[in-house]
Amino acid sequence: MPLDEFDRKILAALQEDARMPVAQVAEHAALSATPVSRRIRKLEEDGVIRGYQPVLDPRKLGLELNAYVLINLDAHSDVNIQRFESAIQDNAYVIACHAVTGDMDYLVHVIARDVEHLSQITLKSLLRIPGVRDVKSIIVLETIKPPLKLPLG
Amino acid sequence: MPLDEFDRKILAALQEDARMPVAQVAEHAALSATPVSRRIRKLEEDGVIRGYQPVLDPRKLGLELNAYVLINLDAHSDVNIQRFESAIQDNAYVIACHAVTGDMDYLVHVIARDVEHLSQITLKSLLRIPGVRDVKSIIVLETIKPPLKLPLG
DNA sequence: TATGAAATAATATAGTT
DNA sequence: AACTATATTATTTCATA
């Protein structure tokens, strides 16, 4: 079940364009369509490919502001953690969240329409989650490299 | 050219599964296949949909460790910035990078096989970029919410 | 100007070797 | 794994609101 060179070439091609026709993926992998089709299905079944997503332009959706918000809880009880993580799941403007090392507990990726909207999300949603002590916002000024591909080497 | 409710429903369906058949997207949007097909193409042409990506499981690719690395430059000359950003583009394990506010200049999302690999990336690649003064690593312990969807409301 | 239904074209999948 | 045949699916055409 480990990936071979064909699988890597297939994944690389799909990372270029997940809607690329199988025949074209096959060219990239120096294979014919049939085995590529079967391999893609196997990669899906094995959970290597978890799904397919459109890459949307946040600006075209009116979402101009990205921020990374570091959050601290005042007590790390199960209830607090449960409540925090559930509030995070429910907030559509929190597009990612990780528990992290260091003096802050969570790193939260927030996307917002503008500064006022970010402020509203921070003050009215994040800071009001019970157990949240402190938040520090890192605001994105410019995206140098957008998150698109994973390394396959 | 602003998005209407149909467009939002279409985008929401595609965010569930970008390979969903047009007929099925059409059901979600309470429309028939023809206009959905045309609307999707228009969304692509307008740059709202920038492309399509497979969602890969990093663990299945042997990438077990995520880190957010904050980086400081010692001088903000054009050369330094140019050199830094170009080095970032060339590094496949840097999967995203933003210029940010605060006392650090950049927030870099690194994905690595393990702690040793992260250490190697930090010491042998990032810290060796000319102009880099300081790095602070925030290591991801657990992903609470994986980055998948953008809010469409 | 945008839709829906039907016809056509493109593409993916299954069977066979 | 490839070739061929079949089945899905997408797109175009055309009539219409």
* Chain segment A46-104, per-residue pLDDT in tens: 999 999 999 999 999 999 999 999 999 999 999 999 999 999 999 999 999 999 999 99
Q: Shortest CA–C1' contact from B42: which nucleotide?
A: C2
- Rounded to the nearest integer, the mean pLDDT of chain B is 97
Contacts with A61 from chain B: Cβ below 8 Å: 3, 48, 150-152
Identify which of B48, B51, B54 has the alpha carbon closest to the alpha carbon of residue B6. B48
Does the pLDDT at position A119 exceed 90?
A: yes
- B135: Cβ under 7 Å from strand C? no
> Is the Cβ pair B145, A89 closer than 8 Å?
yes
CB B28 within 8 A of CB B36: no
N residues, chain B? 153
A71 touches chain B (CB under 8 A): no
pTM (whole model) above 0.85:
yes
B99: number of Cβ within 10 Å: 16
Which residue on chain B is closest to A17 by alpha carbon? B52
Q: CA–CA distance from B87 to each of B80, B90, B108, B132 (Å)?
A: 11, 5, 12, 11
> Is the Cβ pair A56, B107 closer than 8 Å?
no
Tokens found for residue B153:
């409301």
- What is the C-alpha separation between B112 and B139, in angstroms, rounded? 11
> Is the Cβ pair A49, B56 closer than 8 Å?
yes
| DSSP annotation of A105 | S
A7 touches chain B (CB under 8 A): no
- What is the C-alpha separation between A68 and A151, in angstroms, rounded? 23
Percent of chain B with pLDDT over 70: 100
- What is the C-alpha separation between A56 and B43, in angstroms, rounded? 9
N residues, chain A? 153
The secondary structure of chain B, three-state, reads CCCCHHHHHHHHHHHHCCCCCHHHHHHHHCCCHHHHHHHHHHHHHCCCEEEEEEEECHHHHCCCEEEEEEEEECCCCHHHHHHHHHHHHHCCCEEEEEEECCCCCEEEEEEECCHHHHHHHHHHHHCCCCCEEEEEEEEEEEEEECCCCCCCC
- B23: Cβ under 7 Å from strand D? yes
Identify which of B132, B81, B70, B137 has the alpha carbon closest to the alpha carbon of residue A144. B81
Q: What is the pLDDT of residues B86-119, one digit of tens each?
A: 999 999 999 999 999 999 999 999 999 999 999 9
- Give mean pLDDT, residues A1-26: 96
Element (H or E) spanning A49, and its range? Answer: strand A49-56
Torsion sign (Cα): B146, A101, B132, B113: negative
Q: Shortest CA–C1' contact from B26: which nucleotide?
A: C4
pLDDT of residue A26: 97
